Structure 1
């Protein structure tokens, strides 16, 4: 059973997918939508969920370094609620602190150009979120 990893931004949604065994995450796509138009993001995501056969989605919860929740975390919680209403899936919130930093570091070490990094950063952050979840399972 495949699992999807999600990195939610205000205008993008990075999507990663696990292998069939649920062991390895890989980047899939970055969805784009108007500022905080999460309904549009979900309408783009639903066919991907169906195509991948995913029943579990792992959504990053951006906590502050002290563990408190800010505006971005509240946005993720609302997105989770909307997504669970729209699809028959379980959405698991996981701490995503430093996932984007780790993704950027990995891409810099891989010698990706700044332009290419900008194109795939959301997908790679989703990979970090999903891989962390898979490793803890």
Structure 2
């Protein structure tokens, strides 16, 4: 068995995306193949009826050659899933199915997103951005926080988050690997 190609920072090489799912917008961030610098990519309008947001993410994953997508999982301060976690889980499952159907070999994992939006607002204020302008980019910045957290977990543990099994849209069964690492 060959070991994965690691960057000098101890992260398996490959572009990664992160997604901050809200009821109105989806923020997206990306990092370089060495896992050094997560940056904002775009904000999508949430579209649970036509799933155009998921389709755009699949196109981005394909265009960038992404190896993983991290979806933020809303957690309470006590470490329990927040009410909006159901929406994030459903989004992650749908995204995993769409990526699998596109034969991209791109894993989807759920990652704790506590404080990412609060941190994003704080960073935008510190950068001098007017609070009325935050709405345009805060979801992207929250996705950057999710990706930064995932990369830190990879450096510390070797992987990050909880794998998401993709439901087979034709049979209704869950496609999954056998690992279950939370973080």
TM over 0.5: yes
Q: Count residues in correspondence.
A: 136
Residues of 2 paired with 1:124 and 1:17: CA distance?
A: 11
Residues of 2 paired with 1:91 and 1:79: CA distance?
A: 10
- 1:136: which partner in 2? 153
- Deviations along 1:56-108, one digit per CA (max 9) or x if unpaired, are 00110001121222331111111111111110321111110110001111111
Structure 1: stretches of 5+ with no match in the other structure: none
Q: Give me the TM-score of the superposition, normalised by structure 1.
A: 0.92
Structure 2: stretches of 5+ with no match in the other structure: 1-13, 101-105, 155-183
Residues of 2 paired with 1:130 and 1:30: CA distance?
A: 15
Please report the RMSD computed on the Cα atoms of aligned residues, expressed in angstroms.
1.4
Q: CA deviation at 1:38?
A: 7.1
1:31-50 alignment to 2 at 5 Å? Answer: 31-34=44-47, 36-37=48-49, 39-50=51-62
Instruction: Report the structure number with the largest CA radius of gyration.
Output: 2
1:93-108 alignment to 2 at 5 Å? Answer: 93-108=110-125
Greater relative contact order (Cα 8 A, min sep 6): structure 1 or 2? 1
Residues of 2 paired with 1:78 and 1:38: CA distance?
A: 14
What stretches of structure 1 move > 3 A for 4+ residues in a row? none
Partner residue of 1:10 out of 3, 14, 23:
23
Q: Secondary structure at the match of 1:117?
A: helix
1:1-137 alignment to 2 at 5 Å? Answer: 1-34=14-47, 36-37=48-49, 39-88=51-100, 89-137=106-154
